[in-house]
Amino acid sequence: MIEIQNVHKSFGKLEVLKGIDLTVEKGEVVTVIGGSGSGKSTLLTCINGLEPIDTGKIVVDGTEVHAKSTNLNKLRQKIGIVFQQWNAFPHLTVLENVTLAPRKVLGMGKAEAEAIGEKQLKHVGLGDKLSTYPSRLSGGQQQRMAIARALAMSPDYMLFDEVTSALDPQLVGEVLETLKMLAEEGMTMICVTHEMAFARDVSDRVAYFHKGIMAEIGKPEQIFNDPQHPETQKFLASVR
Amino acid sequence: MIEIQNVHKSFGKLEVLKGIDLTVEKGEVVTVIGGSGSGKSTLLTCINGLEPIDTGKIVVDGTEVHAKSTNLNKLRQKIGIVFQQWNAFPHLTVLENVTLAPRKVLGMGKAEAEAIGEKQLKHVGLGDKLSTYPSRLSGGQQQRMAIARALAMSPDYMLFDEVTSALDPQLVGEVLETLKMLAEEGMTMICVTHEMAFARDVSDRVAYFHKGIMAEIGKPEQIFNDPQHPETQKFLASVR
Amino acid sequence: MFDTALSAADLIFLAKGAGMTIIVTAISVAIGTVLGILFGVIRVQLGAVLAAPLTFFLDIFRSVPLLIQLVLANAFMGMVLHLRFSGFTIACMVLSLYTAAYCAEIVRGGIGAVPATTRRAARSLGMSWWQDMRYIVAPLATRVALPSWIGLALGVMKDSALVYVVQVTELLKSTQILITRLQEPLFLLMICGAFYFIISFPLARLGGYLEKRWSND
Amino acid sequence: GTAQADKLDDIIASGTLRCAVVLDFPPMGMRDENNNPIGFDVDYCNDLAAALGVKSEIVETPFPERIPALMSGRVDVGVASTSDTLERAKTVGFSIPYFAFEMAVTSNDASGIKSFDDMKGHTVGATAGTFEAIALEKQINEWGDGTFRPYQTQADVFLALSQGQIDATVSTSTVAQANVKTGNFPGISVVGKAPFDTDYVALFTNRDEYGLINYLNLFVNQQIRTGRYAELYEKWVGGELPALTVPNAYR
Amino acid sequence: MFGYTFQWNQALARLPKILDGAAVTMEVAVLSMLIGIALAIFLTLLRLSGSRPLGAIATTWVEVARNTPALFQIYMAHFGVASFGIHFSPFVSLLIGITFNNAGYLAENFRGALKAIPETQTRAGRSLGMSQGQAFRYIILPQMLRISFLPMTNQMVWAVLMTSLGVTVGMNTDLYGVTQDLNALTFRTFELFAIAAVIFYLITKIITLGARAIAWRLFRY
Ligand SMILES: Nc1ncnc2c1ncn2[C@@H]1O[C@H](COP(=O)(O)OP(=O)(O)OP(=O)(O)O)[C@@H](O)[C@H]1O
Ligand SMILES: Nc1ncnc2c1ncn2[C@@H]1O[C@H](COP(=O)(O)OP(=O)(O)OP(=O)(O)O)[C@@H](O)[C@H]1O
Ligand SMILES: [Mg+2]
Ligand SMILES: [Mg+2]
């Protein structure tokens, strides 16, 4: 369970998160939508402790993320994250990309890590690219590899930050399919996305962010058919 | 008058122009359309002698372009050309871009060149950008600057090579407007373009190139409404 | 072709000088690279303000002629601190710091060339700072830095010609000694220059080649 | 305080005497065809080591680096034909003179220089940091005509002289004779004396090492008494033995 | 604490002389840069000329300059070429040595810079009626110098540092030479060279900061 309680966060003078409260249950898929600069990405990087927060707290499975005593490297093993920019490690093959963290962080043996890596890469449809270098992959393939890389750590939670927005339109579909598959398998997920159809189909709940505030959260039918907050209405009108 | 007579041209083994015949009268606007690699750009660079030809001849106002005795630098002063890629000189301001050739090639004084430069820049709608550097201009503004730069040499002919194809859609219009204006002022022009509406509206004649051959040439109404050559029909069907 | 009094013993003498050039270079580049990586990482880690003293210290080695660095180090160690270091030791110490100063810049550039987002991805997989450095930053930064580093190593070899001021008889000094005896300056200088060239040129080419190859993918 | 070992003790204890010697200064210091150090100063250092009962080690030092080599602890004693100037004595401690030089003018035959005064208006050179270089540069400045060039080594000076880059040089007469004699430098000759004071040269060590300085003084005296000085002079220089005492003066 | 008594006043009393030396050092460095840039442009043109022998000459120059020690080049300029009966004064020898080095390094920088300038720039110039020379002079050259500005600044710093090698060819009027002469007189090695070091440091700082200011004023595009 991820519990976010009254989180405030500023970059210098700019307050980016202005008191966010959100609880994500095990097995739930929460989609976050909202305008550019509303703080969506920042929230995700706070959840796995890549960014510090100012006040409030974030608790993941009973561990307070920003407590001094927390071993962040350990915590991050259970929270996978995939970013908008493809972050392939260019000097490693696809399989090596995926097995690096299991081997070095979890201390797995080579054979074991490769078995897991292959399984995850097949899972995302890259079973035939194991020894290819990332520069030979399309953007969509790179994103799927990044997903497999995160999955290879057997995370309990997955965070996705606009994983399709840097892709060519024809590559978006394959990545969204992968996300859908994960959701169906019961993964707990927070997805920041601009793909409204995806949000509507896959989410248990949809949250709308506006200028550092979670303006509205609810079932997808409610948010998309009957938005309460005027900003949500405006936003949905603009993206349709 | 530009007379092109049975021009052949190869790059290595690849024959790019396979016997082109075309005469452009003073004041005429000829538009060249055709598939990628059909030799359109090559023809333009042959006309002002930037590329040599293999056989045939090109005569501009009685001067044979590729004759040994021809002073190409002099000839090029009367043939302006604007390319697809914006070729702004990045180290010079907009006004300096435009006045450089008049000053160094025609030996004009600074004041005179600047008067002409300002006039031409105003003409293309850049009167307020004189001391800006090109990097601060949009693609459309850079193309208009390139047009002004060519006009500042008071050319008798202007060649345009897909001047809008590298532009964002919303910037295409402003450049086409400038071309239209030049056509209305009576400039003799050869325009390579993918903008069919423009070709139809502005041209006196439209030529269709296919694999190094001028497959068809005629009034725009005829070419667009009643193309004779099967390739022209296919091409026009594909771009509609 | 040349009528020369150069004897086999003289050639051995020259070879010894060349050996000294190579040894001084190898030691200095080895130590300097280790220090340079350390300083470079510290500078990146601390940020411009906190690392300012280190930056200033390293900057000195790039802003004062090597000849003066050697003379001063020599004078300081001996006259002021009364440490009995051999000229060879002083030469290696100064050249090591000299190398480190340039190497730190190269390392900084290399680390800077690794996209922040890639490092973020590594950390988000649970890798520690050290693992990120070891498995992601080091291999990627090396590609960027290696060509410059080769250039630096060759530069140090050429600059090692100056250690004669602390009584280390390297190649150029050996050549000068032979010129004293044999009075064939041009011929001897050609041999000496050829030696530097033969070592430096192929490696410099290799650096250029690597730079081209790695900047393409 | 506790009794401290001084440098003399250190040398005896370490078993090695390290001498600064200039090796491009024939016949005082030079190299044989195997590039091993030889010369008057080399023998003198060996004698000193033998007297101390230790091995000797010759450390080659160019002229400008002699004193820095001592000050930086690289050598124990300078046996390097070093003029005992008062300016330098502020920094290092000198023994009594162990050798004395006359200064000679050597010129390139093509220059037409036949005497010291002929050098006026010409380009001349000497070894940077030496007694004669300092004196010659001063003379050129007094004449106000001509150019002075200091080279790093005595060898470079003679190289430049034989190449015609400089027209003449002033050096110790022994060096001049020795260099001309080698035949390495065609077209140069010793043409006369330079009217500089006799250049007395002394051994040197750290200013405060009185024990060692005392020892050096006695050693120089013994070399003369035992005839070894005359023997070495004959071996390396030849001719009339210069006096090492100054008339009408102590020390 | 130290067994050495610093006598800064002795050394500082000689500061005016040392500063005169600094002026000579700057003179050599600036001249060697100006001539070096001109030669580097010339070498670049030779390499662009398409002529094999001319290109080979330029390439040899560049490779020798970059692959042998500067000290060697300076020594060669004085004692090496004198074997042919060509005599240069220490000042000229030093200047030749450093200029040779500068030209080689700069020519290589220029080559890299040219690669960064699109071919279409020359085309655009030519199509306006400019001759090949005019297109190079007014369009390519300024961009090339702009791209090479930082390497040129570094080279200028190196030129300043390289002047210290002049002592090997009998130079005694530059910053290092003056300092060495004074050292021979007084043996205040540490103090004198420390002062010289500080002056060298200040000169290089002035050059880098000055270059930054110039770049800021000059290259506003
Ligand atoms: N490291 C940082 N330093 C300073 N400001 C930052 C930093 N990261 C983000 N910001 C600022 O914080 C605000 C919120 O950024 P964030 O990336 O969280 O927005 P977002 O909702 O993800 O927007 P987008 O849809 O464009 O990705 C923005 O104004 C951004 O400029
Ligand atoms: N400098 C060159 N060297 C070799 N081949 C060339 C050169 N320039 C053009 N070509 C080739 O000549 C053929 C015709 O090129 P050209 O640029 O004239 O076509 P185009 O009709 O302008 O096409 P597009 O619409 O893509 O601009 C192409 O196959 C091209 O690859
Ligand atoms: Mg974002
Ligand atoms: Mg084209």
Amino acid at residue number B90: P
Cα separation of the two ends of chain B: 33
Contacts of E161 in chain C (CB under 8 A): 63-66
- Optimal mutation site among C58, C67, C82, C179, interface E, most CBs of chain E within 10 A: C67
Instruction: Give me the interface pTM, i.e. the ipTM.
Output: 0.80
The tokens for D87 are 């300016």
From the CA of B94, how far away is ligand 4's center (Å)? 25
Residue D59 to residue C7, Cβ atoms within 8 A: no
Residues of chain E with pLDDT under 70: 1-4, 221
Contacts of E139 in chain B (CB under 8 A): 89, 100
Q: Which chain C residue shows the shortest CA-CA distance from E191?
A: C72
Domains and CATH numbers, chain A: 2-239 (3.40.50.300)
Side-chain-side CA neighbours of residue E57 (13 Å): 12
Contacts of residue C26, defined as CB under 8 A and 6 or more positions apart, other chains included, come to: none
Lowest-pLDDT range, A228-237, C203-212, D60-69, D121-130? D60-69
Residue D152 to residue E184, Cβ atoms within 8 A: no
Q: Give the H or E element holding residue B32.
A: strand B29-34
- pLDDT tier for residue D179 given thresholds of 50, 70 and 90: confident
Residues of chain C with pLDDT under 70: 1-3, 215-217
Contacts of D37 in chain C (CB under 8 A): none
Nearest CA residue ID for atom 6, ligand 2: B11
B42 CA closest ligand 2 atom index: 18
A209 CA closest ligand 1 atom index: 21
* Residue D1 confidence (pLDDT): 40
The order of strands in the sheet holding D16-21 is D55-60, D16-21, D77-83, D199-206, D92-101
Instruction: Flag whether residue C138 sits within 8 Å of chain E, measured between CB atoms.
Output: no
* Residue C2 confidence (pLDDT): 52
| In-domain check, residue C165 | yes
Sign of CA dihedral A76, A78, A84, A87: positive
Task: Collect contacts of A162-166 with beta carbons under 8 A, ≥24 apart.
Answer: A162/A40, A162/A41, A162/A84, A162/A192, A162/A193, A162/A194, A163/A82, A163/A83, A163/A84, A163/A191, A163/A193, A164/A193, A164/A194, A164/A195, A165/A84, A165/A194, A166/A84, A166/A85, A166/A86, A166/A139
From the CA of B122, how far away is ligand 4's center (Å)? 29
* Residue D2 confidence (pLDDT): 46
Distance from the Cα of D33 to chain C's closest Cα (Å) equals 8
Would you say how long chain E is, in residues?
221
Structure-token match 């100006």, residue found: E34
- Optimal mutation site among E10, E187, E189, interface D, most CBs of chain D within 10 A: E187
Q: Which chain E residue shows the shortest CA-CA distance from C157?
A: E69
Contacts of C70 in chain D (CB under 8 A): none
- Measure the CA–CA gap between B85 and D150, rounded to whole angstroms: 61
Strand pairing partners for B214?
A: B209
Distance from the Cα of E118 to chain C's closest Cα (Å) equals 17
The tokens for D193 are 């004396």
* Residue C1 confidence (pLDDT): 41
Amino acid at residue number A81: I
From the CA of B41, how far away is ligand 4's center (Å)? 4
Phi–psi pair at A55, nearest 5 degrees:
-140, 170
Residue E79 to residue C185, Cβ atoms within 8 A: yes
Contacts of B134 in chain E (CB under 8 A): 221
Among E82, E169, E187, whose Cβ lies nearest the Cβ of D88? E187
* Residue A119 confidence (pLDDT): 94
- Measure the CA–CA gap between A67 and A59, rounded to whole angstroms: 10
Total domains in chain C come to 1
Tell me if residue A141 falls in helix, strand or coil: helix
Burial (Cβ within 10 Å: 0-12, 13-18, ≥19) of residue D37: middle
Nearest in space to B105 (alpha carbons), one of B76, B79, B69, B144:
B76
Burial (Cβ within 10 Å: 0-12, 13-18, ≥19) of residue C128: middle
Residue D88 to residue E167, Cβ atoms within 8 A: no
DSSP structure class, residue A217: E
- Measure the CA–CA gap between E221 and E219, rounded to whole angstroms: 6
Burial (Cβ within 10 Å: 0-12, 13-18, ≥19) of residue A148: buried
The tokens for A36 are 């550019």
- Measure the CA–CA gap between D59 and D225, rounded to whole angstroms: 28
Count of other CB atoms within 10 angstroms of residue B52: 10
* Residue E1 confidence (pLDDT): 40
A76-99 pLDDT, tens digit per residue, is 999 999 998 878 999 999 999 999
Report, as an integer, the average pLDDT of B127-148: 91
Query: Domain residues of chain E, as ranges?
Result: 8-219
Structure-token match 């540092």, residue found: E161
Helix axes E175-186, C66-75, angle to 10 degrees: 20
Report, as an integer, the average pLDDT of B40-65: 93
| In-domain check, residue C123 | yes
Q: What is the CA radius of gyration of chain D?
A: 18
Phi–psi pair at E202, nearest 5 degrees:
-65, -40
Contacts of C216 in chain A (CB under 8 A): none
User: Looking at the CA of A208, which ligand is closest?
Assistant: 1
* Residue A85 confidence (pLDDT): 83
- pLDDT tier for residue B118 given thresholds of 50, 70 and 90: very high
Nearest in space to E159 (alpha carbons), one of E45, E70, E84:
E70
Q: Supply the pTM of this predicted model.
A: 0.83
Q: Give the H or E element holding residue D60.
A: strand D55-60
* Residue B171 confidence (pLDDT): 82
In this structure, what CATH number is given to the domain that contains residue C154? 1.10.3720.10
Tell me if residue E201 falls in helix, strand or coil: helix
- Measure the CA–CA gap between E60 and D58, rounded to whole angstroms: 42
Contacts of residue A74, defined as CB under 8 A and 6 or more positions apart, other chains included, come to: C126
Residue B104 to residue E134, Cβ atoms within 8 A: yes
- Measure the CA–CA gap between A86 and A143, rounded to whole angstroms: 6
The tokens for A227 are 């938005």
From the CA of B38, how far away is ligand 2's center (Å)? 7
Among C68, C161, C176, whose Cβ lies nearest the Cβ of E197? C68
DSSP structure class, residue A136: G
| In-domain check, residue C2 | no
Phi–psi pair at A50, nearest 5 degrees:
-70, -25
- Optimal mutation site among C20, C59, C62, C68, interface E, most CBs of chain E within 10 A: C68
Phi–psi pair at B47, nearest 5 degrees:
-60, -40
Strand pairing partners for B60?
A: B2, B63
Structure-token match 């190497």, residue found: C103
Residue pairs between chains D and E whose CB atoms are closer than 8 Å: 66
Report, as an integer, the average pLDDT of D47-64: 92
- Measure the CA–CA gap between C171 and C164, rounded to whole angstroms: 9
Lowest-pLDDT range, A73-77, D48-52, D136-140, D193-197? D193-197
**Whether the Cβ atoms of residue A99 and residue A130 lie closer than 8 Å to each other:** no
Cα distances (Å, whole numbers) of residue B50 to B10, B34, B132, B164, E194: 14, 21, 29, 21, 61
- Measure the CA–CA gap between A154 and A78, rounded to whole angstroms: 7
* Residue E82 confidence (pLDDT): 86
DSSP structure class, residue D29: B
A192 CA closest ligand 1 atom index: 22
Instruction: Flag whether residue B100 sits within 8 Å of chain E, measured between CB atoms.
Output: yes
From the CA of A147, how far away is ligand 1's center (Å)? 23
Residue C65 to residue E67, Cβ atoms within 8 A: no
- Measure the CA–CA gap between B125 and B128, rounded to whole angstroms: 8
Phi–psi pair at A133, nearest 5 degrees:
-90, 150
- Measure the CA–CA gap between E46 and E42, rounded to whole angstroms: 6
Which chains are within 8 Å of A by 3+ CB pairs?
C
Residues of chain A with pLDDT under 70: 240
Domain that holds residue C131: 8-215
- Optimal mutation site among E127, E130, E132, interface B, most CBs of chain B within 10 A: E127
The tokens for E135 are 């297109």
Residue D152 to residue E167, Cβ atoms within 8 A: yes
The tokens for C217 are 């993918």
Instruction: Tell which wins on pLDDT, D251 or D103.
Output: D103
- Percentage of chain B beyond pLDDT 70 is 100
> Where does ligand 2 bind, in terms of residues with CB under 6 Å?
B 11, 14, 16, 34, 36-42
- In this complex, does chain A touch chain E, defined as having at least 3 beta-carbon pairs under 8 Å apart? no
Phi–psi pair at D168, nearest 5 degrees:
-160, 165
C155-187 pLDDT, tens digit per residue, is 999 999 999 888 888 999 899 888 877 778 888
Nearest CA residue ID for atom 5, ligand 1: A11
DSSP structure class, residue D197: P
User: Looking at the CA of E119, which ligand is closest?
Assistant: 2
- Measure the CA–CA gap between C185 and B105, rounded to whole angstroms: 53
Helix axes B139-151, B169-184, angle to 10 degrees: 20
Tell me if residue C189 falls in helix, strand or coil: helix
E8-219: CATH topology is MetI-like fold (1.10.3720)
The alpha carbon torsion through B124, B130, B133, B136 (nearest 10 deg) reads -60
* Residue E46 confidence (pLDDT): 94
* Residue B86 confidence (pLDDT): 77
Side-chain-side CA neighbours of residue C155 (13 Å): 21
Residue C217 to residue A135, Cβ atoms within 8 A: yes
Residue D68 to residue C79, Cβ atoms within 8 A: yes
Report, as an integer, the average pLDDT of B48-53: 92
Contacts of A91 in chain C (CB under 8 A): 139-140, 143
**Whether the Cβ atoms of residue D104 and residue D190 lie closer than 8 Å to each other:** yes
Contacts of D208 in chain C (CB under 8 A): none
- Percentage of chain D beyond pLDDT 90 is 53
From the CA of B191, how far away is ligand 4's center (Å)? 11
Q: Find out whether the beta carbon of A13 lies less than 6 Å from any atom of ligand 1.
A: no
Residue C9 to residue D184, Cβ atoms within 8 A: no
Residue D72 to residue C78, Cβ atoms within 8 A: yes
- Measure the CA–CA gap between E221 and E209, rounded to whole angstroms: 20
Report, as an integer, the average pLDDT of D211-233: 95
Contacts of B81 in chain E (CB under 8 A): 127
The tokens for A130 are 């194991």
User: Looking at the CA of A42, which ligand is closest?
Assistant: 1
Amino acid at residue number A202: V
| In-domain check, residue C41 | yes
The tokens for C62 are 């790039």
Amino acid at residue number D6: D
Nearest in space to C14 (alpha carbons), one of C200, C196, C204, C203:
C196
Q: DSSP string of B1-24?
A: -EEEEEEEEEETTEEEEEEEEEEE
Would you say how long chain A is, in residues?
240
Nearest CA residue ID for atom 8, ligand 2: B42
Count of other CB atoms within 10 angstroms of residue C25: 25
The tokens for C100 are 């480190």
